[in-house]
Amino acid sequence: MIRLFETHKVREKIELEGIWDFSPIKDNEINVQTYKYRLPVPGCWEMHPELLTYRGKGVYRKNITIKQKTSLRFEFKGVSHTADVYFDNNKIAHHYNAYTPFSAIVPEVEQGKHELTVLVDNSFSEASALHIPNDYYTYGGLIRPVVMQMVEEVFLERVEFTPFFKENNWSADIKIFIENISPKNCICILKGNIGNYTFDMGVYEIPASQKFEISKTVPFPDVKAWSESSPNLYLLEIQLFGKDSLIPSDDYIDRVGFRTVTIENEKIRVNGKEIFLKGFNRHEDHPSVGASFPLQLMMQDLDIMQDMGANTVRTSHYPNDERFLDLCDERGLYVWEENHARGLDLKKMQNPNFVKQCEDCNREMVQYHYNHPSIITWGILNECASETEEGRLLYKQQFEQIRGLDKSRPLTFASNKWVTDLCLDLVDIVSYNTYPGWYWDTSPIDDYHKLVNYKNAHGGKNKPLIISEFGGDGIYGYRDEGLSKGSEEKQADIIGAVLDVFMGKPDVSGVIIWQFCDCRISQENGWALNRACSRNNKGIVDRFRRPKLAAKEVKKHFKGTGTANLEKGGINI
């Protein structure tokens, strides 16, 4: 299952979920004679007992039967971390980054048997600027679903839906991206519908072998808004017809919500109403599946978070599986979706591949996830070199790139540079990671004053403030009434003290705990010596989702005090 709803009724598609052949390889030789393993897709190879710590290259193979001549479009939702895709031994795609989707077209495939092979590499080297040994684990494999679609010569590539509220009514700017892979110009007619509304998008001549973009503003007078308390969703269905044809040759279905996100008077507003974020940072990591989450585990994570009273998830530190975002849409959760970069100092940001790999990640994140109403902010470059002039330039370039792709959402990044940060003027929302009680023995109230004073004097005045990380280790089962660091008691104490301070302050717009669940970390570069049991133990639940003492503290705060009723004013829904 790639999404929680049908994405096509007209276009034929087959999900390539199941068992694939797999073999580790040493060089780039894709013509493997004997495949030793049969591995599940989606899946991480580390879940196999002989591949627990395998870092390197491997080839996945799947035989495919095509019933009649057609063009094929493959969509890979996530390959960790570098993929070279071959169809009948011809290379059709190269992609870097485990956490963003990509696609490849194979025109005019003959009926019969074919072979799809994917060379996957999860190794660390200079070629990889973003996947580096880190405070989380880079797994290997086809970690998210793969789908094969049968496409016509002209097909719908994607749709961008941007709702807005004007003169007491909802409308939306709808952009449709079409691709013509044939050598001739083609006339096509586009129609759409949402709920009970059908609308014409026009007639166009799509130039030969080109991508084409059309846009239109459509009013939707009687729809219901999407909000935290009423997450109304609508299926947006676009159909493409050939000239004089009454039967659509292609379609594209996405699920959308009507909501706006704005920043006014230091507050984040959804549909004009002030919101307060109470949430968790979450790594996609689980001992049984690695980073390859089935629906049940995604739902379980959200159930646990919501049971503690959370309304927000930060996808630290990479774009998430679209099914997880679908679930957030359905549940009215707010999402801070983040590009993939954690803790890169200036030297690492100056890796020759950094700029291109970030640009690709930003573009794929925004374009593939554009229509999720739950995503209320895009974040970039967690704890990178925002205290340097050179780093500032790179932050600036990325914010400009994202603003060019999406003007409808505010932007942010999580800083740990305290009173040396040079980038607060670049963002719409100022976000700080701070660890009072854990990395330093300051009190949260001192941190609060220091942060707010610096923010207001250095480009952050009148901008909302989110405390985007705080917490401390709590090793599951390690109990100590003496509150030694690492005990569940100490963790609960830190979390309670920080929430007491930051949830009560009028100039704080959100608190996001580090972190939801413990996660596996890299062994390389000293990480294993920094982290007890080779885990980041700051989860409020452990890797198996068993709650620690801190869970009660979180629930008390998130469900109780400090969550003033903010539902005043704004758009009436």
Nearer to ligand ADA, 383 or 428 (CB): 383
Q: SS3 for 246?
A: coil
Q: SS3 for 555?
A: helix
- 320-349: contacts with ligand ADA (CB under 6 A): 342
Phi, psi dihedral angles at 425 (to 5 degrees):
-75, -15
Nearer to ligand ADA, 147 or 511 (CB): 511
- 360-389: contacts with ligand ADA (CB under 6 A): 382-383
- 179-218: contacts with ligand ADA (CB under 6 A): none
Nearer to ligand ADA, 149 or 316 (CB): 316
x/- letters, 4..33, toward ligand ADA (CB under 6 A) = ------------------------------
100 contacts 364 by C-beta, under 8 angstroms: yes
By C-alpha distance, which of 132, 127, 99 is closest to 344? 132
Nearer to ligand ADA, 254 or 469 (CB): 469
- 63-82: contacts with ligand ADA (CB under 6 A): none
- Output the residue with the shortest Cβ distance to ligand ADA: 135
CB 12 → ligand ADA: shortest distance, Å? 42
Using rule CB under 6 A, residue 514 touches ligand ADA: yes
Q: Out of 444, 536, 543, 570, name the contact with ligand ADA by CB under 6 A.
A: 536
CB 516 → ligand ADA: shortest distance, Å? 12
195 contacts 202 by C-beta, under 8 angstroms: no
CB 435 → ligand ADA: shortest distance, Å? 7
Nearer to ligand ADA, 164 or 527 (CB): 527
CA distance 4 to 217: 27
Nearer to ligand ADA, 63 or 525 (CB): 525
x/- letters, 246..275, toward ligand ADA (CB under 6 A) = ------------------------------
Q: SS3 for 497?
A: helix
CA distance 95 to 120: 10
- On the CB side of 484, CA atoms within 13 Å amount to 4
Q: Sign of torsion, CA 73 79 82 83?
A: negative
Number of residues that bind ligand ADA (CB under 6 A): 10
Instruction: Give the Cα-Cα-Cα angle 173, 174, 179 (nearest 5 degrees).
Output: 145
CB 293 → ligand ADA: shortest distance, Å? 19
Q: Out of 97, 339, 377, 433, name the contact with ligand ADA by CB under 6 A.
A: 433
The token pair that represents 377 in the structure block: 């902010």
Torsion of CA 463, 468, 470, 476, to 10 degrees: 160
Residue 494 per-residue DSSP state: H
Peptide bond preceding 397 in cis form (omega within 30 of 0): no
The token pair that represents 404 in the structure block: 């060019």
Q: Which residues pair with 112 in a beta bridge?
A: 66
Please name the residue that has the structure tokens 């689980």: 286
x/- letters, 128..167, toward ligand ADA (CB under 6 A) = -------x--------------------------------
CB 369 → ligand ADA: shortest distance, Å? 21
Length in residues, the chain: 573
CB 514 → ligand ADA: shortest distance, Å? 5
Nearer to ligand ADA, 250 or 285 (CB): 285
Using rule CB under 6 A, residue 538 touches ligand ADA: yes
CB 504 → ligand ADA: shortest distance, Å? 23
Please name the residue that has the structure tokens 């978070």: 305
CB 73 → ligand ADA: shortest distance, Å? 35
Using rule CB under 6 A, residue 55 touches ligand ADA: no
Nearer to ligand ADA, 188 or 358 (CB): 358
Nearer to ligand ADA, 261 or 512 (CB): 512
Name every residue whose Cβ is closer than 8 Å to that of residue 530 and which is 6 or more positions away in sequence: none
CA distance 345 to 350: 9
Q: Which residues pair with 235 in a beta bridge?
A: 255
Q: Which residues pair with 171 in a beta bridge?
A: 164, 219
Nearer to ligand ADA, 7 or 382 (CB): 382
CA distance 381 to 365: 14
Judged by the rule CB under 6 A, the positions of this chain that interact with ligand ADA are 135, 342, 382-383, 416, 433, 469, 514, 536, 538
